[in-house]
Amino acid sequence: MVRNHPNKIKNEDTLFPLKKTLQVKGKLYRLDEPWVMGIINTTPDSFYGPSRVSVDQGQVIERAIQMVAEGASILDIGGYSSRPHAAHISEQEELNRVISVIDTIRKALPEILISIDTFRHKVAREAVLAGADMVNDISGGELDKKMIPEIGKMGVPYICMHMKGTPDTMQQLTDYENLENDIMFYFSNKLAQCKNAGIKDVILDLGFGFAKTIDQNYHLVHSLDYFSTLPVLILGGVSRKSMVYKLLNCTPAEALNGTTALHMALLIGGVHILRVHDVKQATETITIYKQLYT
């Protein structure tokens, strides 16, 4: 059982660079090194099968404890698959999939940070009440206009991702006047919305694989320093995605090596949080990155 989060800031520690801190429910955390966010899906149709868990309490606890032991600082719980053409589920079904899992993890691991992966404000609210610490929204509030105001009311960090359209339509929406400028404009507007809603901590996710071609995804990796001027944390989610397995002509199950290579590129580019299926390998990548670059 994790008793103390290793990066929790003591009361006497007060001054740290903005990009290196995260405030969660009155506690301030320092990111002295990149963090790993472990993916736990309660969906039967997520694109990578081994990331799925049932709502069985024993299986949930086992997976969560393993990820924390391997170095995860955050566990991201999702109950609605965002892969193209995934089955639509009701709000109640999504709640049924995630609330008991969050409750189980919170009781077993009281100090671990938990994220709820949802674009619905009601699911976000219920998840936070059940013990989640932050909200990870693939739509940046576009699929539910009440999301950003709700986050402001709850006072939790908000992970805001760039996407156009919906998971069903995004692959037809890959035209940009200028990829970096368009995404920067999107985030500038979102940060203003978040500020107006009273959200104190925003984490930005460039949305690799969402409304972007393979070439555009890698162009963004190459251009990460363009977004480093933003006074926020940056999250990178590339784990076993099509930008890896399609490029390498393999399957998601065979995409770990490519994912690890890409994780190193993200770290070099300045990403603060890696969202991953394979925590141990991501943690090892961070260790090597630190040896080389810090």
Given this model, what pLDDT does residue 53 score?
58
**Domain architecture of the chain: domains with CATH:** 25-293 (3.20.20.20)
Query: What residues does 275 pair with on adjacent strands?
Result: 37
275 included as an active-site residue = yes
Residue pair 204/251 in contact by the 8 Å Cβ criterion: no
Q: What is the pLDDT of residues 83-95, one digit of tens each?
A: 666 678 899 999 9
Q: What is the pLDDT of residues 84-123, one digit of tens each?
A: 666 788 999 999 999 999 999 999 999 999 999 999 999 9
Task: Say how far apart CA 272 and CA 231 lie, in whole Å.
Answer: 12
Q: What is the pLDDT of residues 11-70, one digit of tens each?
A: 333 332 345 899 999 999 999 999 999 999 887 655 445 555 555 677 888 899 999 999
- Tell me which residue of 117, 123, 156, 151 sits closest to 137, measured CA to CA: 117
Catalytic choice (241, 246, 280, 290): 241
Q: What is the pLDDT of residues 200-256, one digit of tens each?
A: 999 999 999 999 999 999 999 999 999 988 889 999 999 999 999 999 999 999 999
Q: Is residue 5 pLDDT above 60, yes or no?
A: no
Query: 3-class SS at 22?
Result: strand
Conformational region of residue 227, where left means phi above 0, alpha means psi within -120 to 50, and beta covers everything else: alpha
Task: Say how far apart CA 252 and CA 175 lie, in whole Å.
Answer: 26
Given this model, what pLDDT does residue 13 score?
38
- Tell me which residue of 116, 97, 109, 126 sits closest to 39, measured CA to CA: 116
Given this model, what pLDDT does residue 88 score?
84
Given this model, what pLDDT does residue 15 score?
30
Given this model, what pLDDT does residue 168 score?
84
Catalytic choice (52, 120, 125, 275): 275
Phi, psi (rounded to 5 degrees) for 93: -65, -40
241 included as an active-site residue = yes
Given this model, what pLDDT does residue 240 score?
95
